[in-house]
Amino acid sequence: MAECLSEIADAGGPVDAKEELLEECESIWKQMEECQSKLMLLGTDTPLQSDAKLSLLMLRWKTLTVDYRWWQARNPEIISTNPDVLLELGKEELQKVKSDLDTVLLAVQLKNKKLEADLEREQQWCEEQEQMLDTLNKAEEETKTQVEQPSTESLKIRGFDELKNKIMTLKTYRKELLSALGEFLDEHFPLPEIGENTKNKNSSAEPAVELITIQEILEILINKLMTTPHDPYVTIDESFWPPYIELLLRYGMVLRHPEDPKRLRLEAFHK
């Protein structure tokens, strides 16, 4: 009560309200003093007989019981009916409530800041996980693409293998053609007899020149044309049997050099 009065006085409250409140406090204090005096007088009475004393104690007990029940059922009384006093007391209570609410607000703000920090950290972690997931998805797609579509290096290797197989096939086919050509030429164009090979020699003591087959002549001309296409002519000697040369010239398979009849070349059928 003293604190409330001091706050009212400090706040510059009305003087009448202060005096009225002091008067009420003094009246209550006087009532308390009177009750205290009565109790002191009762304590100094002459001791009574045992029955009378018991009756008195029972009466006091009943009185105290009634007072106790009355105080339990009694509603608190307003200290003062003065509106200025009530206004100041209300302000004091509002200040206390405001202080409590400020404390609660500060605690809530701190908790919100902590929750915001946690949320930001969780969002950052979520973004990192999403980026990692996107990277893994891209890697998976690239792997699927590489599995479904062979790489350029694989295509090069496959093309090289196919070309190698074709070359091997061509070589095998060439051997078969040369073998078939050799069999055909051996059957239809055999080597001449030894007597024919030496009939035009001046001296019979000289050794006979070994003639080459028409197949060998064609192979020499073909190799010369393929290895040195800029100079495809071959100089013939006595090992080239003249009837074979004439046969090849007649059917247009070989051509003579325009300036040197001893040089022959194969007709470029591949051009």
Q: DSSP 3-state assignment of 20? A: helix
What is the phi/psi pair of residue 52, to 5°?
A: -65, -40
- The pLDDT tens digits of the residues spanning 67-85 come to 778 777 766 555 666 777 7
Instruction: Tell whether 250 is covered by a domain.
Output: yes
- The pLDDT tens digits of the residues spanning 238-260 come to 889 899 899 888 988 899 999 99
Instruction: Tell whether 81 is covered by a domain.
Output: no
**168 plus 195 within the same structural domain:** no
| For range 159-175, the mean pLDDT | 86
The pTM for the full model equals 0.37
Residue 265 sits in a domain whose CATH number is 1.10.10
**170 plus 238 within the same structural domain:** no
Burial-class residue 266 by CB neighbours within 10 Å (0-12, 13-18, 19+).
Answer: buried
Query: Which residues contact residue 204 at a Cβ distance below 8 angstroms, ignoring those fewer than 6 apart?
Result: 198
**216 plus 270 within the same structural domain:** yes
Our count of domains for the chain comes to 2
Instruction: Tell whether 237 is covered by a domain.
Output: yes
**195 plus 173 within the same structural domain:** no
**165 plus 223 within the same structural domain:** no
- The pLDDT tens digits of the residues spanning 149-166 come to 655 666 677 778 888 888
Question: Which residue(s) pair with 266 in the sheet?
Answer: 254
**196 plus 159 within the same structural domain:** no
Q: Are 155 and 174 in contact (CB under 8 A)?
A: no
Q: Which domain holds residue 165?
A: 155-188
pLDDT at 27 over 70: yes
